[in-house]
């Protein structure tokens, strides 16, 4: 099985993530144009409940599997790898069945009393088959990550999106005549089909490598795997706590927003539309660069774990600096573009500019989110997952307090939720940085901070000049694309000029190394 270096594995994940995000935006555009803000609102109100159940059924095992498989792989211990996989599958399989049944039973209560819109019942029920499918996928994904082979999961991500896009328009149109809530069910069904085909692909990739077979002496591995279970839980439990905070936050967020807007005197349908504009239009654009930062986070865990085990502290610090530098570089361009071209981007993508205010407010601060992912992964790789969990709890608690205070005020309304999300992102990132400074004395060098501000300032100036020189970009797509492309070209030049990307890093990429060596 092919093993990649840190940057090679990251690059594979980034390319797959870019393709997946682009395809995902095509999917969102199709869904938005077919269902509108109200349908998107119903769809996004149901998803957080799925993510909460998904997190509970995974039990934090993907990170634990990745780390323990990497350790066993280093010792060439195939028996231990087999134990890890079998025990993980038993745990996730059992939990997923339990929580799927619980989700079906509780769906009517959640939709009526928590989400305040009974129509969300149908999307909640439609998405339940996703839980066991995703649980099994997470185990296989963790196995490949532990062996530092990022190709199978990368291919699977792209396949999943292609299948989803192929199905979504058909199922939405098929069910839309029965009501907007059934159209949302159609979108959910396309998600399930895509995830199932993706799982089948990863299982096929797993079977192609005959190093491990799971059907021999399975019961004996379960009965003798007490130590393996303990080693997995030592990582899984704190990781679960950290992810659970985020999932509970996502679960409670639409409930608190809908209830707070109701207190502010905003009707159910209007509140659903406003929430749909925020979470269906603005948030996906703000999260677009996270496919890069998430890729870095996935690749960081086995690399930092290995460096820490060898007591190579300088390499640990270098990897963190490297991740922050690349994350910032990927997010800064998105921050400038989304802030300065919010209305035309939304107009051409969704046919609506209702979410432009959210983008202008949130984009500058979401730059902190882009460096938060690798920081969180670093804390987990260094066995400080509990500290990361408390940081997430504090930032989430502050976010909810601000959300309730502002969103219940008619003067703020849904904008209060946007402000609260922004505060939570910034606070969470600063808490992670403070924790890393405390435990390993890590800090961002002043020279790097200067380069970050220089990159932002010069890119902002470039975008301002292009906006003044060229016209028609607000109503015509071609001028907008030309401006964005021109800004991107200048931005790439600034990355090399300010050494956000170094020659040594480029040399680690095979097809580029041929040209610079």
Q: What is the pLDDT of residues 142-199, one digit of tens each?
A: 888 877 788 888 889 889 888 988 888 888 888 888 888 888 888 888 888 998 999 9
Whether the pTM exceeds 0.75: the reply is no
User: pLDDT grade, residue 435 (50/70/90)?
Assistant: very high
Residue 379 maps to a domain: yes
Q: Is 157 helix (H, G, I), strand (E, B) or coil?
A: helix
Domain boundary pick from 413, 444, 475 = 444
- Distance between alpha carbon 243 and the CA centroid of its chain, in Å? 12
Is the pLDDT at 265 greater than 90, yes or no? no
Q: What angle do CA 16, 359, 426 make, to 5 degrees?
A: 80
- pLDDT tens, residue by residue, 3-29: 666 777 777 878 887 888 788 778 877
- Between CA 106 and CA 80 the distance in angstroms is 38
Indicate if 338 and 463 belong to the same structural domain: no
Residue 221 maps to a domain: yes
Q: Are 316 and 307 in contact (CB under 8 A)?
A: yes
Q: Are 17 and 295 in contact (CB under 8 A)?
A: yes
- Between CA 263 and CA 487 the distance in angstroms is 44
- Between CA 157 and CA 164 the distance in angstroms is 11
Mean pLDDT of the residues in the chain:
81
More confident position, 44 or 441? 441
Q: How many domains does the chain have?
A: 2
Residue 1 maps to a domain: no
Handedness of CA 197, 199, 205, 209 (dihedral sign): negative
Indicate if 450 and 431 belong to the same structural domain: no
**274 lies in which domain range?**
6-444
Indicate if 487 and 418 belong to the same structural domain: no
First CA to last CA distance, the chain: 27
What's the pLDDT at 515? 46
Q: Which of 308, 325, 335, 338 is nearest to 440 (CA)?
A: 308
- Between CA 225 and CA 342 the distance in angstroms is 54
Indicate if 202 and 71 belong to the same structural domain: yes
Indicate if 391 and 488 belong to the same structural domain: no
In this structure, how many other beta carbons lie within 10 angstroms of the beta carbon of residue 488? 13
Domain boundary pick from 400, 423, 444 = 444
Q: Which of 151, 95, 504 is nearest to 298 (CA)?
A: 151
Residue 58 maps to a domain: yes
- pLDDT tens, residue by residue, 398-431: 998 998 888 888 888 788 888 998 999 999 999 9
In this structure, how many other beta carbons lie within 10 angstroms of the beta carbon of residue 285? 24
Indicate if 498 and 414 belong to the same structural domain: no
Domain boundary pick from 412, 444, 476 = 444
Indicate if 433 and 458 belong to the same structural domain: no
- Between CA 353 and CA 29 the distance in angstroms is 14
Which residues contact residue 156 at a Cβ distance below 8 angstroms, ignoring those fewer than 6 apart? 137, 141, 198, 199, 201, 202, 205
CA dihedral 105, 109, 111, 114 (to 10 degrees): -130
Indicate if 326 and 474 belong to the same structural domain: no
What's the pLDDT at 512? 47
Indicate if 55 and 146 belong to the same structural domain: yes
What's the pLDDT at 212? 57
Indicate if 321 and 457 belong to the same structural domain: no
* Measured CA distances, 430 to 26, 147, 201 (Å): 34, 32, 39
Q: Are 198 and 160 in contact (CB under 8 A)?
A: yes
- pLDDT tens, residue by residue, 337-388: 999 898 888 888 877 787 888 888 888 999 899 888 889 888 877 878 778 8
Q: Which of 180, 54, 34 is nearest to 117 (CA)?
A: 180
CA dihedral 474, 476, 482, 483 (to 10 degrees): -10
- pLDDT tens, residue by residue, 207-244: 876 555 555 555 555 555 667 777 777 677 777 777 77
Which residues contact residue 505 at a Cβ distance below 8 angstroms, ignoring those fewer than 6 apart? 7, 322
Indicate if 300 and 317 belong to the same structural domain: yes
Residue 312 maps to a domain: yes
Indicate if 90 and 61 belong to the same structural domain: yes
């Amino acid at each position: 099985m092919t093993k990649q270096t840190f940057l090679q594995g990251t690059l594979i994940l980034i390319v797959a993530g870019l393709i997946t995000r682009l395809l995902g935006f095509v999917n969102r555009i199709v869904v938005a144009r077919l269902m509108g803000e109200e349908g998107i609102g119903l769809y996004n109100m149901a998803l957080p409940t799925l993510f909460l159940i998904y997190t509970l059924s995974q039990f934090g095992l993907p990170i634990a599997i990745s780390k323990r498989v990497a350790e066993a792989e280093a010792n060439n211990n195939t028996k231990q790898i087999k134990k890890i996989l079998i025990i993980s599958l038993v745990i996730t399989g059992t939990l997923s069945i339990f929580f799927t049944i619980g989700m079906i039973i509780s769906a009517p209560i959640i939709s009526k009393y928590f989400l305040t819109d009974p129509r969300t019942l149908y999307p909640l029920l439609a998405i339940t088959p996703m839980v066991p499918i995703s649980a099994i996928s997470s185990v296989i994904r963790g196995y490949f990550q532990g062996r530092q082979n990022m190709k199978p999961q990368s291919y699977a991500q792209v396949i999943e999106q292609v299948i989803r896009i192929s199905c979504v328009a058909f199922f939405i149109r098929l069910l839309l005549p029965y009501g907007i809530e059934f159209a949302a069910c159609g979108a959910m069904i396309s998600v399930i089909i895509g995830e199932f085909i993706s799982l089948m692909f990863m299982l096929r990739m797993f079977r192609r490598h005959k190093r491990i077979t799971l059907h021999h002496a399975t019961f004996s591995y379960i009965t003798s795997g007490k130590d393996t279970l303990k080693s997995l839980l030592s990582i899984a439990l704190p990781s679960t706590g950290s992810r659970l905070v985020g999932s509970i936050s996502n679960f409670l967020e639409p409930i608190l927003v809908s209830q707070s807007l109701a207190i502010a005197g905003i009707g159910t349908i209007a509140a659903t539309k406003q929430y749909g504009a925020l979470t269906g239009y603005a948030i996906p654009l703000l999260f677009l660069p996270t496919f890069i930062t998430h890729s870095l986070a996935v690749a960081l865990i086995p690399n930092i774990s290995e460096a820490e085990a060898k007591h190579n502290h300088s390499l640990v610090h270098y990897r963190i600096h490297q991740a922050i530098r690349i994350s910032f570089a990927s997010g800064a361009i998105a921050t400038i573009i989304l802030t300065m071209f919010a209305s035309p981007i939304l107009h051409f993508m969704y046919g609506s500019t209702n979410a432009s205010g959210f983008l202008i407010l949130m984009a500058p601060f979401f730059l902190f989110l882009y460096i938060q992912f690798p920081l969180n992964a670093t804390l987990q790789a260094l066995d400080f997952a509990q500290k990361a969990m408390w940081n997430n709890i504090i930032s989430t608690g502050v976010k909810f307090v601000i959300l309730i205070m502002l969103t219940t005020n008619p003067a703020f309304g849904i904008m209060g939720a946007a402000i609260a999300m922004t505060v939570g992102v910034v606070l969470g990132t600063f808490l992670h940085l403070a924790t890393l400074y405390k435990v390993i004395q890590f800090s961002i060098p002043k020279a790097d901070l200067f380069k970050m501000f220089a990159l932002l300032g010069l890119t902002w100036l470039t975008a301002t000049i292009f906006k003044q020189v060229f016209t028609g970009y607000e109503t015509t797509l071609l001028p907008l694309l030309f401006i964005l492309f021109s800004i991107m070209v200048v931005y790439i030049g600034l990355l090399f000029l300010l050494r956000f990307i170094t020659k040594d890093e480029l040399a680690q990429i095979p097809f580029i190394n041929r040209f610079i060596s």
